[in-house]
Structure formats: structure tokens, C-alpha cells
Amino acid sequence: MTNPLTAEAPAAQPADDHLVPLGGGRFGVWKHVLVRSPGFPAEGVARLAAPRLARRADELAAAEDVSDDEWSSFRRSFADDLGALEGQVQEIARDGRFQAAVAWQNHHALRRGIWPLFDRTPGEDARNSKYRQREQLVTAYWQRYCVKNDSIGFFGPVGWVRLDNGSPTRLEPADRLLESAEIFFEYWAIARLAEALAAQEGMADWLAPWRAGFVRVDGDRVVLPSQTAVEVSPAVAEVLRRSDGIRPAREIAGAVVEAGLVAGADEVSAILADLRKRRWISWGLGLPLTPRPEEPLRRRLERIGDAELRDRSLAQLDRLEHARAQVAESFDDAPSLVESLDGLDETFSAITSAAPTRKSGKMYGGRTLLYTDCRRALDLELGSEIVEALAPLDLLLHSGRWLTCQVAKVLREELVALHRRLVERDGAPLSLSTLWFEALSLLHGTALSKFDRVESELRARWAQ
């Protein structure tokens, strides 16, 4: 019988050397697997549990009648266990590695929310609302560090392991937690530094503007997606043509002046400013998306011909990198780490006039200036029993492939029809930017109803 989920799906390619066959062999999984893990022992969460008290609470809740003596006994047990748990929270909060983990995530929370816990003597002073909130903060962080598979510093390291269906699972723990650790600037932090440096007086002449990908220059016309071509002056057209992200503005100005299209370089600067306002160009220290954005920034700064401006800008980058080095030296020493992170924050704000954090109060990665990438020290090989346990995924993968093929078929039909209409309207050749711009509405137009039909068919095939 033909599997209704896999009908019409293209045949899978045989597994390559870097793949382990899965199930029937039509799919495979990579031999190298990234394993995420907590940085603290999982049994640590049990330190904040009171199982006997919980069982007794369940018994009382289920009982039809509870005597005053039973309630009194439960209240005494509750108070005793609460005192014990309070002591555990204090011990956890005083743990140096725990404090360092919190500092890496939010050093202000450590200083303002956790260290003040130590101002109170457990069992003696009243547990007011503020104190209970601080206990909850410790508890939330502790549970996360013990049992949540995060990719987050030494308290959520990752490890590269192998998958081998020809042998059983084998684990050889190391005598240390980490194999390596690196500290990176968040991209947004270096991008903000680049913005501040680009805004310096005299810097614009040394920056290379680059034309937006959707802007095309045709003679003295600017062609934009799905819009009537805009007539521009020969000077504007030439500036746009030369805005390639390589030539600095002063070089572009010199060429345009030499061509006799403008009287002076100031006119070219005004043209560039207007083009940036129109969003036809970008004009700044644009940085590629890379784990080390400070490196291309340094290379761009080193190309500045004005020695004073170049040295001043490089000195600002040096200050920020030195502050990062201070943080690295304090890697897992919480008090020193908090001090060095404060220093980094102050340095960043002094240079950029911007806050050292973003997305305050939101569950969002990259809120601070730095992050750590830590690799766990372990030798783990996932064996045949793991591969066998994954075999039932074969059906789900077949289903997913059928779905993606059908969605792709719908989109291809819609794109071909759209291309035909645009060519009839605008003529050939059709720019990719125009097709892209017009295609943005496909997912909200006629294709949407066709996607609904694909979804209905998928449900019907699963029902069979």
C-alpha cells in the first residue's frame, strides 16, 4: 500500500559519508551533533524541594475532615521546611560560580537583587515582600542553571559529540567542565560604536557609501521596484553609480568634480546626504554580520587618511577592547566580574553616549554588551540505541517533505504568473528587485487559500 504521506514526494538521495541513515534510509542525520547542557548538576534543583511536606499537603487537601491538631502539625512542618529552604537559598546565593553566572547574565541583578539577601539573618528577621522577591530571583536562576538546556556561557556550555549506529553509546566525562571559552561583543554594541565614530566631524569624507540593492541607475534615471523611474541630474546619477561601498566619499567627490558635473565637493556631500535621506544609499561604517565585528571595524578605521581622526577613532575602539580584556580576566570571580562589567558599561556609554543594554525587561538575547561561548569538555559518542530511537521520525520527515514540496509548487506557480504579469506591464528584462517587492504580498493573497488546501490535504493523508 502506498503511504499517503509520502506519495508524490521526490526520492531521497542516499546518505553521504557525513550522515547516519535514519529509519528506512531515505533520510539521514549528521554524524556530528551539538549537545546543549546545564552548567550545574541537575540534582541541584532538589535542594529547593520539600517532598514530604508536599505529600502531607496533598493528603490534607484530599481529606474530608482535618482536625485542628493536624493543621497545627502541618503549620509547624511548613515553618520548619520553609526555614530549611531559606537556608538553602542563602547557600546557593553565596556560591561563587552561581554568582558569576548571574553576573554574566545581569550583573545589576546580582548587585541589587541577590547580594542584599546577605543583609538578613535567616530565621531571625522578617521575610518581607522584597526579601521574598529576591529569594524567587535566586530560585529562578538556580532552576535554569540546573535543568534548562541553554547555550549560555559556562553555565550552559555546548559540546560537539558523534553519532555512530555501529556501536553503543559511550561517555567519558572530563575532569573539568569546559574545554574552551571565548568572549564576544554583541553585534549591536559594535554597530553602535561604529555609528558614534561615523558621526565625528570630518569622518564622512572617509566613509564609502553604498547603493541600496533595490536601486538601479539607468542613464540619468533611478529605477525603483514597482515605481515610475525617477529622473535625476547627471551629478546625482554619477554619485549613485560610484557608491559601491569601496570608494570613500572624498574620492567620489573628486571624480564628480573632475567630470565637471558639480562645482565643488560640498555639492557632492549634499547629494550624498540627500540620497541617504531617501534611503537610496547607506553612508557609514557599515559592518558585516560576523562574530567579531570589531575586526572589520578596525580595518575600516585603519584606512582613514586623516592621521589624527584615524588615531582618535582607533583609540576609542582600543578602550572598549581593553575593557573587554578586563572582563575576561575576571571570568568567574563574581565581585571582580561585576566591577569589570561596570567598567565596560561606563566605557561604552562614555564613547557612544548610549545605554549599555537594550530590550530592557524583555525575554530577548543579546541585551548586554558581551556574551561568552563555552565548549564543554566531554567525550561522548551516541550509539545505535539512540539512532534506533529516532527511527519513528522517518514518517514525520516524509510528511514534512511532502508539505514543503507542495508549498514550493504553489509558490512557483504564483511566482511564474506574477513574473508574466510584470513583464506585460513593465517589459523585459524584469529586475529581481521588482519581482521581490511584488512577491512580498503573495503570502497574504491568492496563495493563502491554496496553502489552506495543502494543509487540508495533509490532514486527510494523516487521517488515512
CA dihedral 63, 66, 69, 74 (to 10 degrees): 50
Q: Which of 260, 283, 306 is the last residue of a domain?
A: 283
The answer on pLDDT for 255 being more than 90 is: yes
In a domain, 155, yes or no: no
pTM for the full predicted model: 0.85
Residue 126 shares a structural domain with residue 212: no
CA distance 40 to 156: 8
Q: What is the domain extent for residue 399? A: 393-463
In a domain, 228, yes or no: yes
Residue 60 shares a structural domain with residue 142: yes
Q: Are 136 and 354 spatial neighbours (Cβ–Cβ below 8 Å)? A: no
Lowest mean pLDDT among 7-11, 179-183, 350-354, 459-463: 7-11
Residue 143 shares a structural domain with residue 215: no
Residue 212 shares a structural domain with residue 132: no
Q: What is the mean pLDDT of the chain?
A: 90
39 burial via Cβ count (<10 Å: 0-12, 13-18, 19+): buried
> Can you give the pLDDT at residue 427?
85
The reply to whether omega before 4 is within 30° of 0 (cis) is no
Share of the chain above pLDDT 90, in %: 67
In a domain, 429, yes or no: yes
> Can you give the pLDDT at residue 274?
97
In a domain, 172, yes or no: no
In a domain, 10, yes or no: no
The answer on pLDDT for 166 being more than 80 is: yes
- At residue 412, φ and ψ (nearest 5 deg) are -60, -45
CB atoms within 10 A of CB 16: 9
369 burial via Cβ count (<10 Å: 0-12, 13-18, 19+): buried
pLDDT band per the 50, 70, 90 thresholds, residue 2: very low
CB atoms within 10 A of CB 427: 8
Residue 128 shares a structural domain with residue 218: no
Residue 133 shares a structural domain with residue 213: no
Look up cell 553616549; give the residue: 353
Q: Which of 219, 252, 283 is the last residue of a domain?
A: 283
Residue 142 shares a structural domain with residue 235: no
Q: Are 328 and 184 spatial neighbours (Cβ–Cβ below 8 Å)? A: no
Residue 142 shares a structural domain with residue 213: no
- At residue 107, φ and ψ (nearest 5 deg) are -65, -20
Higher pLDDT residue, 277 or 225?
Answer: 277
> Can you give the pLDDT at residue 151?
82
SS3 for 166?
A: coil
In a domain, 105, yes or no: yes
SS3 for 183?
A: strand
Residue 212 shares a structural domain with residue 120: no
In a domain, 153, yes or no: no
The answer on pLDDT for 16 being more than 70 is: no
The answer on pLDDT for 446 being more than 80 is: no
Q: Which of 147, 178, 198 is the last residue of a domain?
A: 147
Q: What is the DSSP string of 261-306?
A: SSSSHHHHHHHHHHHHHHTSEE-S----S-S-THHHHHHHHHT-S-
In a domain, 9, yes or no: no
pLDDT band per the 50, 70, 90 thresholds, residue 39: confident
Residue 139 shares a structural domain with residue 215: no
Residue 130 shares a structural domain with residue 214: no
If one counts the domains in the chain, the total is: 3
